[in-house]
Amino acid sequence: MSLKLGPLLTLLLALLALQSPVAGQTVPAAVQWIPGDAVISLELTQPKTLLELLAGEKASSFLKALPAYQQQMSNPQFQQFLAVVGYMESELGTDWRTALAKLTGGGITLAICPEETVILVVDAEDGQLLNRLHEMLLDMARSEAEKKGQSGSVASTKYGDVTAWTFDGKEAHAIIGKRLVMSNRPEGLKAVLELRAETWGENLASKRNYRAAKRQLSRSGNNAVATLFADLELLMQVPNIAGLLKQQGENPLAALAFAGIVEGLRDSNYLALGLAIEDQTLICQASVDGKMVAKTSPASFALPKEAGEGALPNLVVPRRIAALTLYRDLHEFYAAKDELFPERTSGLIFFENMMGIFFSGRDLTNEVLAETEPEIRFVVAEQQFDPAIGTPVVKLPAFAMILRLRDEEQFDEVAEEAWQKAIGLVNFTRGQQAMPGLIIDRPTHRDTKLTVSYFSTTGIEDKTALDQRFNIRPTLAMPSNYLILSSTDGLARDLVDALSAEIEQTTKPLAQTHSLLEIEGVQLASILQANRQTLVRGDMVKKGSTQAESEAGIDILITVARLCEHLELSIGMDEGTTEAKLELELNLQ
């Protein structure tokens, strides 16, 4: 059988363990063969559990039912890939799913080391299957090399009692019992073999930070199928990473959103992460060992002050795409601006000048932001357009910010005045350009007066393909002690309903949690589907792709969104350390 393999051979080798077992031989844990200078290590201890979820019958049925998969069936390269898989299944006498489970069932360990060295260790279960696969791949590699006139690229070398192979003259791998050890550089394999022979250096398992990370993960109590360790001391020596974390101090919004998180990473020795699986939900827990941000730190505005304080739960509204809640004391944040942003940027100066106009010269720190409680909530939702008003061609989601006020009676008129000044400034600017302005209306919903601004569609005959500006109907609402700033009155009404229900239930904060993000994948897929043609045209213009190529790419994006039923990320403090929990519920229906 003649097949063009190309890089597929290397990929298959990286995924599957090779070679027959040595009778009675036992090998130490794979991490004991990983060099101690590894920056990141990933250990998959229960490959079968993850394989069942991501490549089981439900996942396969979901994938094969997708239009994008059906389109790929006619792709020559995809057909070639399926032919290779079918040939290997025939030669091995089993299906690929069973073979993969037997070939990786003992565990997979991946490590990234300095000088761009990557090390992969795979422990298998079935020695006979491994032996057949190794011989088959070796024959295929030799055949491919001979066709290219590169027969010398497939070679073997002796390292003590171990035979090392290379299939392309670059990667290097060796088989020891049921274990495959592979590296993208010969130096990586040599380091592993020297650790095995106990003739060189410290291994990762004996490293202080690694052991501390493992203890931290064991305290979480979840049955992790995979764990990840990152040596932050080493990572912070990489200029690009150090520079990325430093950028927080140059961007006010980044400082507000990521305060406490960046400090936790910057002041920690390691990052520990564990992945567990419950039914169709992936649960990932991460922690760092950095100490709690000091009360004197400019970033202390992001951390709950008392034991029972924290971010409020996210608000639930119809057609919700995403919701974000932050525990951030805006008063303390802005009071620390000189320390957070020692260089006065033009953007910050412009913001302060505009706020001075909107709030009639009131002190932004002590007379405006001091009136807000330390909870900031954001909601994004798909819009439901009224045919009587019209429907835009490009359908943007609605978005809103919700603040809780300390004294709503004192601040309501101040906020109303500032809002109307902002709308007036927009109208003045658009009027100078001879463009239509916003009309202000004051409807009532649940005894709450809304200040709604909108562009009139009077005189527009075709209301089924309106301009993009008709996505926006800026709205201010102040139910009870809340302040809602929304891009549409529809979302503002839904939020008034949600807040009314929350007040009745006396919702409690999430103790010591300072950030909570939720994303609804199915609803995200819905709005992407509603704008599919617009996204396809934009992709064609931006990338110069054909319509078929752009449609395939956008359809994959929609599929990925639909696959994620619900995502929830929470970040907070536990006994003085920063911890995060990510739950991803898959939709395989």
CA distance 119 to 173: 10
Choose one of 206, 240, 256: the last residue of a domain. 206
Q: What is the CA radius of gyration of the chain?
A: 29
Residue 216 placed within a domain:
no
pLDDT at 250: 59
Q: Which residues contact 205 (CB under 8 A, 6 or more apart)?
A: 29, 31, 32, 34, 211
Residue 254 placed within a domain:
no
Per-residue pLDDT tens over the stretch 62-120: 888 777 777 778 788 888 888 888 988 888 888 888 999 999 999 999 999 999 999 99
The whole domain housing 513 covers: 292-519
Choose one of 519, 549, 565: the last residue of a domain. 519
462 shares a domain with 349:
yes
Q: Apex CA 279: angle with CA 273 and CA 284, to 5°?
A: 15
CA distance 499 to 511: 20
Q: Which residues contact 72 (CB under 8 A, 6 or more apart)?
A: 78
Type and span of the H or E element at 470: none
CA distance 410 to 400: 23
The structure tokens 């690929």 sit at 96
Q: Per the structure, how many domains does the chain have?
A: 2
DSSP state of 480: T
Half-sphere exposure of 206 (CA within 13 A, CB side): 10
121 shares a domain with 14:
yes
Residue 560 placed within a domain:
no
Helix ranges, 125-238 (H): 127-147, 186-196, 208-220, 232-235
Which residues of the chain, if any, have pLDDT below 50? 1-24
300 shares a domain with 161:
no
Helix ranges, 148-207 (H): 186-196
Half-sphere exposure of 515 (CA within 13 A, CB side): 17
Q: Please, are residues 351 and 360 in contact by the beta-carbon 8 Å criterion?
A: no
The structure tokens 């919702």 sit at 507
Q: Please, are residues 394 and 472 in contact by the beta-carbon 8 Å criterion?
A: no
DSSP state of 154: S
- E-assigned strand segments in 422-470: 439-441, 444-445, 448-454
201 shares a domain with 107:
yes
CA distance 52 to 526: 28
Helix ranges, 221-303 (H): 232-235, 239-246, 252-258, 261-266
451 shares a domain with 319:
yes
Give which of 446, 440, 442 is closest to 495, Cα–Cα: 446
362 shares a domain with 501:
yes
Residue 550 placed within a domain:
no
DSSP state of 34: S
pLDDT at 293: 64
Residue 535 placed within a domain:
no
Q: Cα dihedral sign for 481, 487, 489, 491? A: negative
Choose one of 206, 236, 271: the last residue of a domain. 206
Give which of 40, 572, 4 is closest to 304, Cα–Cα: 572
